[in-house]
Structure 1
Amino acid sequence: MSRPDTITLTGITAIGYHGVFDHEKRDGQPFIVDAVLHADLAEAAATDDLAHTAHYGEVAEAIAALIRGDAFDLIETLAVRIAERILADFPPVSAVEVTVHKPKAPIQVPFGDVSINVFRSRA
């Protein structure tokens, strides 16, 4: 079996209100999402038809809406909800890997980034 084709979106950024602390839910902070969509893109390439692929502009909008949407305590929850939405709304996608970055997490030591990575598939 061959490796699936991928569409990669990186750095989708929006202000969200996720976190366990009251000030995180009140003040918000930037969240950055990367998503790798696994899909067979042969038909899209053969037909040159957007209907046979995942419209990455619409995927990006869906991700940003979830970042800005309901507040979750955990970025794990946000990552899984993003993965579930992509699989539900974009049928050509057979699997998705989502990374949620929280670069301004309330950590009291110097750090570069905190991220959660999840992988979900239809199977």
Structure 2
Amino acid sequence: MSATGQIFIEALDLYAYHGHFAEEGRLGQRFSMDLVLDCDLRASSLSDDIADTVDYGEVVGLATRTFSGKRFKLLEAAARALAEAILAEYPAVTKVAVTLRKPAPPIPGRMDSVGVKLDFTR
């Protein structure tokens, strides 16, 4: 029996200093992140042991460090850095979908958020 599936982290809320505009780098802003990791969950579904899966708590820590460790002008570049870090750290992950949102972008108009969604495959 196959147990291929996904581990997901939704609406991880982080504060960082990313953006194209100088005030974004100076003042910072909130970001929201969703991560979806495709991986084989067969071993962990049988063993019930965290050592046999990708620990999503560790993924949150890695994503937080990666996202906050460098200033990015574009969400696209930040999404790539996140995916590369996850794929490098977790060989069991075959695909990563990264969604990044700016809930309060410094642009005119009324909207809930702006953002990007990028998929990366090993």
CA distance in 1, matches of 2:46, 2:95: 21
2:75 aligns to what?
Answer: 75
Partner residue, 1:104? 104
What is the CA-CA distance between 1:53 and the residue it aligns to? 1.1
Gaps of 5+ in 2: none
SS at match of 1:91: coil
- Which residue of the partner structure matches residue 41 of structure 1? 41
Q: Distance in 1 between matches of 2:66 and 2:10?
A: 16
Residue identity matched to 2:103: P
Q: Which amino acid aligns with 1:71?
A: R
Is the CA contact 1:79–1:99 (under 8 Å) kept in the aligned structure 2?
A: yes
The gaps in structure 1 that reach 5 residues or longer are: none
**Contact 1:15/1:67 (<8 A) preserved:** no
TM-score (norm 2): 0.93
Once residues 105 and 68 of structure 1 are traced to their aligned partners in structure 2, the CA distance between those partners, rounded to angstroms, is 18
Matched, 1:11 2:8: no
2:26 and 2:66 map into 1 onto residues whose CA distance is 17
Amino acid at match of 1:121: T
User: What fraction of aligned residue pairs are identical, expressed as a percent?
Assistant: 37
**Aligned residues between the structures:** 121
SS of residue in 1 equivalent to 2:82? helix
Structure 2: distance between partners of 1:4 and 1:46: 12
- CA drift of 1:66 comes to 2.2
Normalised TM-score (structure 1):
0.92
